[in-house]
Structure formats: structure tokens, C-alpha cells
Structure 1
Amino acid sequence: MRDAAGKGVGVTASAAAVRPGVGGPPAPRPREVPWLAVVAAVYAVAQLALVVPHMGGGLLWDESVYVSQVDPRHPAAFFSAPRSRGISVLVAPLLAVTSSVPALRVALALLSAAALYGAFRVWGPLVGQRTAALAALLFSGLWITEISGSQAMPNLWVALGAVAAVGWFLRAPAERPANWWLAALTAGVTLLRAPDGGWLALPLLLGATGVRRWRPALPALFAGLGLGAAQWVIEAYARFGGIGARLRLSSATEGGMAPHLNAGPALRALNGPLLCRPCHVPLRHPELTVWWLALPLLAAAALAFALRDHRLHRDGPDRLAATVLPLVCAASLSVPYLLLITYAAPRFLLPAYALLALPVAGLAVRAIRAARSPVPVAALGVALALHLGSQYAVLVHNTSGEARTAARYQAAATGLHRLGVRPPCLVTGPRALPVGYAAGCASAQVKGNNRSTNVDGVLDRAARMPTAALGRAHGTPPRYAHGWIRHPLPGTGWAAYLAPRR
């Protein structure tokens, strides 16, 4: 019996040694799925599959302006007062290597997916990894987010920078490196779009002034604003006669910025076009606007629940701030586009959508955790699937429209080359900026928001290099181009008037 007892004890001890939590090492916790990384990867794949292959090999109007500033192979297009140079800085390293537009789009698609991951990862310690991942999914699933990722435009990068900046602001009281990140991101957003940097910083500065634990963030905010705005201020004095003069010219270029409600144009442009100016088009596919109309209601519900939990002492002030501050910053960034201008573009509100996705995702996660049956969870899943499906339908339509526009610019450039208009050359008239970039020519306008020269300047350059004035196929040439030789540009609806060779 002693041997049997000893043997039994030995078996029991051995079993205890390998049984988790009984006399041995604790069982390893199962690794959580890195949902945020999955969302970022899906965002990259969606762009590479649904957007990049269908955009053709050309750039759109605003892209041409931003890219031409740092493209060593093309003359720089006129850079108007409201623009900021951050996106040109972003693409400069890529253009130093190649001028291929498809390569640029692929690189931007991958870079925007990495930025999406980095921006929403900041929020993991604040709201939880799953909430941050769901917020990233809600934002990246929007059709305007999908189409913007591979474009050389600043609005998406402002949105991601704003998300990360607000997150680091909230983490600053507990983490010393957070202030460095906050300063860098505030500078980046301001460099991308100087006015947006100010509208983002305004509520953060007010919060840091009024809340003691946030006051150490003030130097970082001021430093970021100063560094980001330095180039804009220097250029204001170098080109426009000072800050006040640049602001006045910017207002005139935007059609006169003054307080008034711009909700109508913003609503009509929800599903496109990508630029609604003047915005007299009807709302496209109103049945697909449910998400946009529900967004303010969902944000209000998230705020109500956050306030209730705070009153019941179930959540501390940091949890409340993680809901309130994104809402306030989203509202601040929306002010110029909803209350000051008279036209609309879906990309203008990308920063607001990105910030609002955080409290809305928190509301959804709260509902899932509170559900006592699978029915509410299934309903939320169906709603998310319908939302993403509607966004896909709008994405396909608008991507094809953008591709046709870019192809039209390329066709015009090809037609000019066939007519002998090759670098060094000059293109004037409507749409001269994107067509000139596509053709490798300089561009100039004698009137309008992009006026960069006068008639005498055009005629002087026309005497020295091949020059084409663009006009409608069945219209009349510009006044200074009477007597120039008219050539149709097939596939564009335009004609080119070539200056006589001397």
C-alpha cells in the first residue's frame, strides 16, 4: 500500500505540475486578434483593389497643383492663397524617385493605411483596443475615405492627424512623451491646412486653459501651431503682402467667407460630386444617406450616455473627456465648412467624421456589452454591413467619375503633344492647371481664382515657346487668342488654340 500510495502521490503531484493554476505557472492568456491592424490592412487592400486600378494614370486638378510644387520634372502651377504646402511636403520624397502616377497612388494608399493604424492606435489605452478598431472601421469604410487615401490631397491627412493629436492630448497628463507627439501632430495638421490647424487647436487650448491637469499641454500646442504655421506666415509676407492680405485674398478666393448656414450644399454633396461649386445639384441617392443623417443622433446618444455614467460615478473624468473632446473638436473643425463658405466637397468634413467615429464606436461597443441576447448584436452587425455596402456603391460611382475626369486631362495633354506643344511650353485658359501638368507644360491664367499673369505676359511667353489656349470645342477663343489656330482635342470636348510660331 505504501508503494501504491507513493505512486498515487507522485501521479497527483505530476498532474498538479502541469495543470494550469495548480502549483504551476499560470496558463498563457489567449492572444487577442489585432483588430486594428486587420482594419488597416483591409483599408489598404480595398484601395488597391477598388480605387487605384480605376483611377488611370493622371492627376486631378488640385492634385496637379500640390504635386507640381515639388515635382522636379514639371513646372510648378500657380499656388493660390488658401492652400497650404503640407501635402506637397508629404509627396516630395516619392516624386524625387519617380513621376509615375500609379506608383504615387500605390505608395499613398499604403501610407494612408499605416497612418490610419497609427492614429487610432493612440486611442487604445483610452477607449479600449476593440473600440478603437471599430472606430477605424467606421471611418475607413466611408466612400470618401476610400477614395482619398491614394490621392495627393490634404483632408484625409488632417483627419488622421487630428485623431492622433486629440488622443495624445488626453494621454498627456499621464505620459511625458505625449506632449512631444502632440506638438508634432499639431504642427503637421497646421502645415497641411493652416486654418484647420487653428480650428483643431482652439478647443484644445480652451480645455488646457480651463482644466488644471491639461495645462502642461499648452506649450506643446503653441509650439506645434508656431512650427506648422511658420511656412504659411513666411509665404504670406513673401507673396501676398502679409498675413492680413493673404487672409483677405483667401476669403475672396473661397467666394467670401462670412457667417451663414452652409448645411444645404453639404447635404447635397454627401454622395458626390467631389466638388460642388456652385452647389445647385440635387441630392444623389437619398436612400444612401441614412448613415450621414444618423451620425449626429448617434453622437448625441454617445454624449448622453457618457454624461449619465459620469453623474452616476461609474466613469471618471478621463472617460468622459474621451467622449466629449472628440465631439467638440469635430464640431470646431466643421465650422468653416458648415458656417462660413458657400460651396461643399465631401472631403471637407473628413476630420469631423474621423473624430465622431470614436464616440459612435464606443456607443456600439456599449450596446453589444449590454445586450443579453444575440438579437441586438445581430442587428448591429446587419446595420454595419448595410452601411459598408452603401458606401461601396457610392465609391464605385464616384471613382468612375474621377477616372473619367483624369482621363480627359490626359487626352487633352496627348492631343497637345501631337500638335507639337511639348516642354518647354505654356497652357492657358480653363483647366490649364491640370492639363498643363499632364502635358509637362507651365500653366497660366489671366482671370479667376488662379490668375497668375496678364494678357501681355501670355503673349510675351507665346512668342518664345509653344503656347496653347484651351476653350470649349464649339465656343469662342479667349480674347487674346483671336487669330490663333484652332485644333479640336478629340475625346475632351475642348479645343486648343495654338499661337502662331515665330
Structure 2
Amino acid sequence: MASRRWHLTLAAVAVCYSTIQLLVTVRVGLGWDESIYVSQVTPGIPPAWFSAPRARGVPLLVAPVTMFTSSVTVIRVYLSLLSGLGLFLAYLPWVRLRPGAAVPAAAALFAGLWTALFYGGEAMPNIWVAFCAVGGAGLFCMAKRKGALVGVALAFALASLVRPTDASWLALPLVAYGLVTRRFRAAVAVVAGLAVGWGEWLVEAALNYHGPFARLAAAGAKNEAGLHFSLGEHLRALDGPVLCRFGHPCGDFPLAHVAWFAAIPVLTAVGLWAIRKPARRRPLLIATASGTALALSYIFTIGYAAPRFLLPVYALLSLPVACGLASVARVRIGRVLVAVAMIAFFALQGGTLLQRAEIEGAAREPDRLAAEALRGLGITTPCFLYGHAAIQVGYLTGCGMRGITTNYGGYELPRQIDAALVRKEWVGVISNRRDTPAGFLASWHRVPLITTGDQRWYLYRPPSAR
């Protein structure tokens, strides 16, 4: 009966998680990366260029809905509901490992993060790696139970299909523990799961990227991989923007967010110390080691930050953190402190979520307006868009696309545009600059596309266009 109660409590947390997403983030348009992922599996929309660091897991996740519709709202609803299910399944094994309120509380702590809420409905990889990491680690600790090893393999297969490097860092402590303690079957299950994602990645590297070493080099250059120390960047990114790169600095340190971030290692240590029995502490140590491995990989090997990068770390460490809070709450003054801290935490995260959803929604609204304006200007398919927000607008209009952030080219016609003109497609170049962004556009027809606030977008059409 008690076990059933905590299962129902966890389910209630998952329902609340999906509900908040449906209320807050469902109207936010697709971002650049999302449009690339979703275009891969949407019939009638030419797939955008899939760069070397990306993996095919996210397109696979959205494929069941994009097979039938390209509607952004439907995609958001589908992912919001699916992420609620993912949250429930991820923490479900831990209800057996840690009977009591700690596991639903851990799920609530993770689900209450603005990043977990914002990215639950986004076609982005990190939240799904987080779910796989928590579920995979829990099943790994239950390896002697029937079916657990199959679950471990499935969890790491999905994680590696979504983001193979993250999955590998998360798996490293589990495999090492399995080898040291002679739990070979559990270690093999993890490696078998990783082999699925890495196998797909290697095949695609051979087919599209001139081999695995060339793809690794290209991915490393794209992600600023190397020896770094980016903890400061991650701290500044705690309240957004969603990417601290490409001219979007994260600004100053948000002290309130830094406070809860700093509390994570402290409460993790308290939670681990409070559990006296080694057998009961062991699963939490494994989860902590897995999350720490991924955190260190981002802090020391990636030269920039985004709030979503550490989502799997927060998901795994939520388990010992919840135990740490329970330990503090055993005394009366501790209960008061925990209650106040939780109210402050959820208020801060909720306020940040509303702020980021409003900012991102406003930032992506011009993409929808530009798509409507292009239809008004008589765009026909097949078509090709080049330039500012071309990825997002291309998805919304069903056009081939090449997104440009700064360098539009020189006086020579870019090969992508030349190829589209040879195919006799409808071609347009989108710019948000008042001046002509490239020499080859000097002879093209320029017409106003949209005006939103202080932004003015222009459409350039070839000299031969009527």
C-alpha cells in the first residue's frame, strides 16, 4: 500500500510537470536547432543541413507526430505529454530502491527547474538524456531483477542516439563500477546500449562526413571542444539566455540562482552521509558519480555554456539532494528552513520560466510573421530560403533552407542559391540589416518583409524574378 502511494505521488508530479508546460510553453515557436531536428522527419519539408555534432535521436522522438502534421503546437503538446511520461518512467525504478517520499520529492525538484520545464516540450536532446540517465542508473542498481538489464540497455541506447558523448560520460562510472565489482552483465548492458547510438553515429560519419575522425574534428570545432574551465559561464547561464554564444553573452552572475546551484553539492554530501548502510547508500553514490562525470566533462572540455547542458546532472543529483533535504528536515528548525528554501526555489524557478518563455516566444514570433508575409508575397514550392532565420522560416513555409548568422558571402553567388536557381526553385534571401549584407545582392530586388518593434526584415529576390 505504501509503495502504491509513492507511485501515485510520482505520477502526480509527472502530471503537474506536463500541465505547466502546456500552460506556459506550448505557444513558443520552434528555435533554430529544433527546426533542423524536426525538418529531418517532416514529409514535404526539405531537411536542413545536419551538422557533425548532431545525432538522430531527437528526430526519431518527434517522428511519430511529424509523420502526420508539421504543426508547431501539436509538436509542443506531444513533447510536453511525452516528457511527463519520461519523468515518471525515469524515477520509477528509484521508488523500489528508495521507498518513501524522497523519490517523488527528487522528481519534483528536477521538474521544478525552469530549464526542465522549458525543454520538456522542446525538440532538443538534453532533457531526454536526463530521463535516460536517471532511469538507466536506477535499473543498473536493480540489475538482479528480471528485465532490469534490458531496461538498462534501452535507456543507454536512447541516450546515445540522442547525444552519444553525454551518454558515454554518464555511462563511464557505471561501467567502471560494474567491472570493479564483477557485475559484468550490468556493465555489458550499458555498453550494448551505447553501441546502438555510436553505431548509428559511425555509419553516418562514414556516409556523410568523410569518416569518424573527420566528423569528430568537425564536431569538436563546432562545440569548442578542448581543455577549458567554463564553470563561470555555466553559472552566468543559470537564468538564461538559452545559449551563451554567437553574440549572446550571459551577463552577470544571477546570485539567487547561484545560491541553489551551490547548495547542490552540499545537500548531495549531506544526503550521502545521512544514509548509514552501505547497501542503501550505493545506488545514490552511483547516481552521484554518473552526474559528476558529465558535469566535469562540460566544465573542463566545452568552451561555452547553455542552461540545458547540465540537465542530466541536475536529474541525477536530485536524488541525493532530496535525501539531504529529508535529513535536514528531521529537526524542527530544519523543517522550517527546508520549507522556506523550497518555497523560494520554486518561486524563483517559476518566475524565471515565465520570463524565459515570454522572451523566447517574442524572439521567435517574427519567424511566424515572416512565413505569413512570404505567403502573401506569393511564395511557391519548391522554394529555397537563405539568410537570417532561414532555418525556422524555411520549416514553416516548407522550403529548403540555409541559415546565416553573420557572413552572407561576397560578390560571388553562394553555391546553395546557385543550385536552387538551376533547379528553377522560388529563391529568396532574408536579412534583418538595413544595408545590403552581401555584394551579390546588389542587383537583387529588395522588398520589406516584416517590421516588429525595432526590427525590420527584408526579402531579396533574384534579378530574374517577377
Q: What is the Cα deviation at residue 448 of structure 1?
A: 8.2
Question: Of residues 415, 427, 441 in structure 1, which corresponds to 2:385?
Answer: 427
Contact 1:469 1:478 in 2 (8 A): no
Question: Of residues 30, 37, 43 in structure 2, which corresponds to 1:59?
Answer: 30
Per-residue displacement from partner, 1:174-219 (whole Å, max 9, x unpaired)? 213111110111111000011112111111111111112x222122
Code of the residue aligned with 2:157 in structure 1: it is A
1:29 and 1:343 map into 2 onto residues whose CA distance is: 45
Question: Of residues 306, 313, 328 in structure 2, which corresponds to 1:367?
Answer: 328
Question: Of residues 255, 266, 269 in structure 2, which corresponds to 1:286?
Answer: 255
**Map of 2:23 onto structure 1:** 49
Secondary structure of 1:276's match?
A: coil
Secondary structure of 1:443's match?
A: strand
**Map of 1:459 onto structure 2:** 418
**Map of 1:202 onto structure 2:** 172
Give unmatched runs, 5+ long, in structure 2: none
Contact 1:186 1:224 in 2 (8 A): yes
Which segment is superposed worse, 267-276 or 286-295? 286-295
**Map of 2:195 onto structure 1:** 226
Code of the residue aligned with 1:376 in structure 2: it is G
Task: Give the TM-score, by structure 1 length.
Answer: 0.86
**Map of 1:186 onto structure 2:** 156
Contact 2:238 2:257 in 1 (8 A): no
C-alpha spacing 1:458/1:320, structure 2 compared with 1 (3 Å): same
C-alpha spacing 1:456/1:300, structure 2 compared with 1 (3 Å): same
Q: What is the Cα deviation at residue 114 of structure 1?
A: 1.0
**Map of 1:19 onto structure 2:** none
Aligned structure 1 segments of 4 or more residues deviating by more than 4 angstroms: 28-31, 445-451
2:364 and 2:405 map into 1 onto residues whose CA distance is: 23
Code of the residue aligned with 2:202 in structure 1: it is V
**Map of 2:216 onto structure 1:** 247
Q: Does 1:395 align with 2:353?
A: yes
Question: Of residues 393, 398, 415 in structure 2, which corresponds to 1:440?
Answer: 398
Secondary structure of 1:493's match?
A: strand
**Map of 2:75 onto structure 1:** 104
Task: Give the TM-score, by structure 2 length.
Answer: 0.93
Q: Does 1:406 align with 2:364?
A: yes
| Correspondence 1:115-126 to 2 at 5 A | 115-126=86-97
Number of residue pairs matched?
457
**Map of 1:32 onto structure 2:** 5
Question: Of residues 229, 246, 259 in structure 2, which corresponds to 1:261?
Answer: 229
Give the % identical residues: 35
1:265 and 1:233 map into 2 onto residues whose CA distance is: 31
Code of the residue aligned with 1:296 in structure 2: it is P
Contact 2:429 2:459 in 1 (8 A): yes
2:408 and 2:33 map into 1 onto residues whose CA distance is: 12
Q: What is the Cα deviation at residue 305 of structure 1?
A: 3.6
2:242 and 2:457 map into 1 onto residues whose CA distance is: 22
1:30 and 1:200 map into 2 onto residues whose CA distance is: 28
C-alpha spacing 1:274/1:188, structure 2 compared with 1 (3 Å): same
**Map of 2:280 onto structure 1:** 319
C-alpha spacing 1:108/1:280, structure 2 compared with 1 (3 Å): closer
1:449 and 1:124 map into 2 onto residues whose CA distance is: 52
Per-residue displacement from partner, 1:103-158 (whole Å, max 9, x unpaired)? 11111111111110111011011112411100000000000111111111111011
C-alpha spacing 1:449/1:385, structure 2 compared with 1 (3 Å): farther
Max Rg structure: 1
1:454 and 1:229 map into 2 onto residues whose CA distance is: 38
Q: What is the Cα deviation at residue 356 of structure 1?
A: 0.6
Question: Of residues 428, 437, 442 in structure 2, which corresponds to 1:468?
Answer: 428
Code of the residue aligned with 1:498 in structure 2: it is R
Contact 2:271 2:327 in 1 (8 A): no
2:292 and 2:211 map into 1 onto residues whose CA distance is: 29
Q: What is the Cα deviation at residue 232 of structure 1?
A: 0.9
Q: What is the Cα deviation at residue 459 of structure 1?
A: 2.1
Give unmatched runs, 5+ long, in structure 1: 1-27, 310-314
C-alpha spacing 1:167/1:417, structure 2 compared with 1 (3 Å): same
Q: Does 1:495 align with 2:458?
A: yes
Q: What is the Cα deviation at residue 476 of structure 1?
A: 1.8
**Map of 1:138 onto structure 2:** 109
Contact 1:121 1:129 in 2 (8 A): no
Which segment is superposed worse, 220-229 or 67-76? 220-229
C-alpha spacing 1:30/1:201, structure 2 compared with 1 (3 Å): closer
Code of the residue aligned with 1:350 in structure 2: it is L
Contact 2:25 2:357 in 1 (8 A): yes
C-alpha spacing 1:32/1:281, structure 2 compared with 1 (3 Å): closer
Secondary structure of 1:108's match?
A: helix
Code of the residue aligned with 2:361 in structure 1: it is A
Secondary structure of 2:67's match?
A: helix
RMSD: 2.3
2:176 and 2:444 map into 1 onto residues whose CA distance is: 59
1:449 and 1:253 map into 2 onto residues whose CA distance is: 16
Code of the residue aligned with 2:92 in structure 1: it is R
1:426 and 1:251 map into 2 onto residues whose CA distance is: 29
Q: What is the Cα deviation at residue 242 of structure 1?
A: 0.9
Contact 1:44 1:110 in 2 (8 A): yes
**Map of 1:349 onto structure 2:** 310
Contact 1:427 1:467 in 2 (8 A): yes
